[in-house]
Chains A and B, each alone.
Chain A
Amino acid sequence: MRRPSWKLSTWLLLGPLAAGCGAAHSHVAWSPEEAPPEQDAAFAARPPPQPPAPSPSADPKGFAARYPHPAVCEAAARRLQGASRDEAWDGLKACIEHTPFTQLNALLGSAWSEELAHRPGGAKLIARVVAQRGGSVMGDLRYLQEKQVPIFSLASAMDRPDTYKGRYVLLRAQVADQRSEGERPTVWLVEHALSSVQTEEVVGYGERTDSVTTYSGDLSGETGLTGPGRVGGTVNAYQRSGRATTRRFVENISDETGREALGRLAAADPFLETRRDYVILARFDGVRLTSGGAETDDEAPRIPVLTIVSYHAPQALVVY
């Protein structure tokens, strides 16, 4: 339920550079002990090798900071599985919580499937990664379905409440209102979905030429056939031309889906703000009849009730 402490912009700049470096020279970073002895002699003046990575259980931040890219961090955590599965899991959590980890593919791979299913924080980690990928919940849920991860959409739960009661749901939503009874507040959630819009904006310098030409004349005279006469008139010509360079932009917009839900919180939480999007992981507790709408109970609107497990602010950049 905490927001990431790292700065996205720094990671976005360093991440790809470091990833390329890590991929190209991975054997240097991962198995320095395999270097031939001649090379050791030739590079005797090199700085001493780095100390081993700190234990992810003891120093998760230090562990994640050792690796230049989230994917390398995850690979390092995976290598710990042989020695200690607890250490490896803590390593994975460190990679996700202290780097802009977006590799849902790696997280849902066979290496972590057992841990994700049986450890208490598995669902929260997935929700966090979905938020770090930009919070395109509908898109990422399709991927979770393919991998048979039991986290579902609010729409599915509302369609068949009995089937999904007690199961995890993942939604992107804003808090609209809150009421409290004793220590346990309940928020009114409005589900949102991401979509994209294309716009064209002028970039650089533009040119515009306006020209106005006016011709006017007056002719008078006399002929033997028609007698005295006069002809006059004006012709105006207006021309406009322009040239501009435009660039096409695609922007992500978050819009209401029309679905709403009540979300129970364990305690009042000032960080869960209104009018702001969150990726919310929750348990589905069924649906309740509301007081508004149709007169008869059969046609009365029903609202789903959720128990919020964790929430995460989505990143602005979406990973597809």
Chain B
Amino acid sequence: MKAILVSLLLLGSAPEGAAPVIPPEALAAPPVADESPTAWACTVDTLRAGKECVFEADLAEGAPSDTQDASNKKLLQGVGRALCTEAVGNIREGRPDATLVTLCERRYVTAVDQCGLEGTSFVVDAKGRFAPGARACYRALANVLQEVQFMATVASPCCECAARANCPGSADRCYAEVSQQATAPQTQACLSDRCADACSVVLPRSGVHPSPTVQQRNRSASPGSASL
């Protein structure tokens, strides 16, 4: 009887390792998830190229820290000039536009304010992948680059001409207004007058009748001309 009791006790206390091992791929095995980042992670490269990506990184969140917050901002500010120069240069096929690059850098610095993440984690991991919490930061930076690329496409030649022709409105205002087709009447008149070719894409064609150009005024003032 004692022997039976002892053997029952031994059976009851048998180590768990004695149970048959289920391979991890088996349907009966416990769930296994791979939390590591994929090749679609958001990085500075995807930011530069404007590609679709997902937010995943090898990072752990911690307590808020001012030092980390400042460090995150500083890290991204460091690449601002390179990103802005490239964004403008790519659109203009290598031709520089210092004014637009400066404008881009100013806007970029403002956007970087959203990149501190309150110091709860690094903004990017060791492989340059943006943290899952950095989506707002990433989108703010991406918007700046996208807007600047748009300005480089539609406003650069016009605003360069406007600066040379001493049209009213600072250079920054010109880029913003021209790309949004919201130029002040005085500026618009100047652009139509002195930069008609460079600004032909952005100047409104119908509805608003720009004041006649200098040449047109001269022509209409000359005596004896007539046309049907």
| Interface residue ranges, A against B (CB under 8 Å) | 116-123, 149-151, 165-168, 179-181, 184-186, 188, 262, 264, 283-286, 288-292, 295, 297, 300, 303, 305, 307, 309
- Residues 122-154 of B at the A interface (beta carbon under 8 Å): 132, 135-136, 138-139, 142
Q: Are A291 and B139 in contact (CB under 8 A)?
A: yes
Instruction: Answer whether A295 and B55 are a contact pair too, CB < 8 Å, given A122-B26, A179-B39, A284-B33.
Output: no
Q: Are B38 and A186 in contact (CB under 8 A)?
A: yes
Q: Are A118 and B33 in contact (CB under 8 A)?
A: no
* Proximity string of chain B (1-31) to chain A, C-beta cutoff 8 Å, 1 when within and 0 when not: 0000000000000000000101101111011
Q: Which of B46-54, B183-191, B196-204 has 4 or more CB atoms under 8 Å from chain A?
A: B46-54
Whether, in the assembled complex, B42 has its beta carbon less than 8 Å from a beta carbon of chain A, the answer is yes
Q: Which residue of B lies closest to A126 (CB)?
A: B27
Q: Are B32 and A166 in contact (CB under 8 A)?
A: yes
Q: Are A288 and B139 in contact (CB under 8 A)?
A: no
Q: How far is the CB of A196 from chain B (nearest CB, A)?
A: 31
Q: Which residue of A lies closest to B132 (CB)?
A: A289
Partner of A118, one of B28, B32, B39, B41: B28
Q: Give every chain A residue within 8 A of B55 (Cβ-Cβ).
A: 288-291
Partner of B39, one of A122, A186, A288: A186
Instruction: Answer whether A165 and B39 are a contact pair too, CB < 8 Å, given A120-B25, A289-B55, A297-B136.
Output: no
Known pairs A118-B23, A290-B54, A291-B42; list 18 more (Cβ under 8 Å).
Answer: A117-B27, A117-B28, A123-B26, A166-B30, A184-B39, A186-B40, A264-B38, A283-B32, A284-B33, A289-B132, A290-B52, A291-B53, A291-B138, A291-B142, A295-B139, A297-B136, A305-B38, A307-B34
Please report the C-alpha to C-alpha distance between residue A248 and residue B23 in the assembled complex, in whole angstroms. 50
Q: Give every chain B residue within 8 A of A295 (Cβ-Cβ).
A: 139
Q: Are A116 and B27 in contact (CB under 8 A)?
A: yes
Please report the C-alpha to C-alpha distance between residue A150 and residue B87 in the assembled complex, in whole angstroms. 49
Q: Are B40 and A179 in contact (CB under 8 A)?
A: yes
Q: Are B27 and A297 in contact (CB under 8 A)?
A: no
Q: Give every chain B residue within 8 A of A290 (Cβ-Cβ).
A: 52-55
Q: Are B52 and A291 in contact (CB under 8 A)?
A: yes
Instruction: Answer whether A166 and B132 are a contact pair too, CB < 8 Å, given A117-B27, A288-B56.
Output: no
Instruction: Answer whether A121 and B25 are a contact pair too, CB < 8 Å, given A179-B40, A291-B54.
Output: yes
Q: Are B34 and A151 in contact (CB under 8 A)?
A: no
Q: Which residue of B lies closest to A305 (CB)?
A: B38
Q: Give every chain B residue within 8 A of A186 (Cβ-Cβ).
A: 38-40
Q: Are B54 and A309 in contact (CB under 8 A)?
A: no
Q: Which residue of A lies closest to B54 (CB)?
A: A288
Q: Are B135 and A166 in contact (CB under 8 A)?
A: no
* Proximity string of chain B (86-113) to chain A, C-beta cutoff 8 Å, 1 when within and 0 when not: 0000000000000000000000000000
Please report the C-alpha to C-alpha distance between residue A305 and residue B53 in the assembled complex, in whole angstroms. 12
Q: Give every chain B residue within 8 A of A166 (Cβ-Cβ).
A: 30-33
Instruction: Answer whether A262 and B26 are a contact pair too, CB < 8 Å, given A283-B32, A288-B56.
Output: no
Please report the C-alpha to C-alpha distance between residue A289 and residue B129 in the assembled complex, in whole angstroms. 13
Q: How far is the CB of B197 from chain A (nearest CB, A)?
A: 37
Q: Give every chain B residue within 8 A of A188 (Cβ-Cβ).
A: 40
Q: How far is the CB of A290 from chain B (nearest CB, A)?
A: 5
Please report the C-alpha to C-alpha distance between residue A168 and residue B24 in the assembled complex, in whole angstroms. 12
| Sample (18) of A-B pairs whose CB atoms are under 8 Å apart | A116-B27, A117-B26, A117-B28, A151-B27, A167-B31, A168-B27, A181-B39, A186-B40, A262-B38, A264-B38, A283-B31, A283-B33, A285-B35, A288-B55, A289-B55, A297-B136, A300-B135, A309-B25
Q: How far is the CB of A301 from chain B (nearest CB, A)?
A: 10
Q: Which residue of A lies closest to B133 (CB)?
A: A297
Q: Are A283 and B34 in contact (CB under 8 A)?
A: yes
Q: Are A285 and B33 in contact (CB under 8 A)?
A: yes
Please report the C-alpha to C-alpha distance between residue A119 and residue B27 in the assembled complex, in whole angstroms. 8
Please report the C-alpha to C-alpha distance between residue A282 and residue B134 in the assembled complex, in whole angstroms. 28
Q: Give every chain B residue within 8 A of A122 (Cβ-Cβ).
A: 26-27
Q: Which of A291, A295, A303 gathers the greatest number of chain B CB atoms within 10 Å?
A: A291
Q: Are B138 and A149 in contact (CB under 8 A)?
A: no
Q: Give every chain B residue within 8 A of A309 (Cβ-Cβ).
A: 25
Please report the C-alpha to C-alpha distance between residue A168 and residue B31 in the assembled complex, in whole angstroms. 8
Please report the C-alpha to C-alpha distance between residue A284 and residue B34 in the assembled complex, in whole angstroms. 8
Q: Give every chain A residue within 8 A of B22 (Cβ-Cβ).
A: 118
Q: Give every chain A residue within 8 A of B34 (Cβ-Cβ).
A: 264, 283, 285, 307
Q: Give every chain A residue within 8 A of B52 (Cβ-Cβ).
A: 290-292
Q: How far is the CB of A163 from chain B (nearest CB, A)?
A: 10
Q: Which residue of B lies closest to A164 (CB)?
A: B31
Listed from nearest, the 5 A-B pairs whose CB atoms lie closest are A166-B31, A166-B33, A181-B39, A288-B54, A117-B28
Please report the C-alpha to C-alpha distance between residue A123 and residue B138 in the assembled complex, in whole angstroms. 39
Please report the C-alpha to C-alpha distance between residue A120 and residue B28 in the assembled complex, in whole angstroms. 9
Q: Give every chain B residue within 8 A of A121 (Cβ-Cβ).
A: 25
Q: Are A180 and B39 in contact (CB under 8 A)?
A: yes
